[in-house]
Amino acid sequence: MSMNNIFDEIPSLLESEAFDEILMSENVRIERILSKGHVSPESGWYDQEENEWVIILRGSAVLDFDDGTTVRLDAGSHFNISAHRKHMVSWTEPDTVTVWLAVFY
């Protein structure tokens, strides 16, 4: 049995958003995402094949959806994004590493 801490090995400098796979199975993938002022790539909206449930463990972020909806997430906030619901990250805290936990199912 291996034990880890979600807050271990968080770099203070992040040149780009970091994605760390925590667990992967046939039907579920769990990632830790680290952002520090990062936003979605200019290439456009995320349009994912699977559902995604996210929770902010530290920091804050704003998600924009192609239907005009905007959702702000702060520490403890969680949100479910249905498959193929186009979205992007439009803001994350510039001075704090935002720690996300994302469950893809």
Which pLDDT band holds residue 2 (cuts at 50, 70, 90)? Answer: confident
Q: For the chain, what is the mean pLDDT? A: 96
Q: Is 84 exposed, middle or buried (0-12, 13-18, 19+ CB in 10 A)?
A: exposed
Check pLDDT > 80 for residue 97.
yes
Query: pLDDT tens, 11-41?
Result: 988 999 999 999 999 999 999 999 999 999 8
Locate the domains of the chain by residue range.
Answer: 18-104
Indicate the residue type of 46: Y
Domain 18-104 has CATH 2.60.120.10: yes
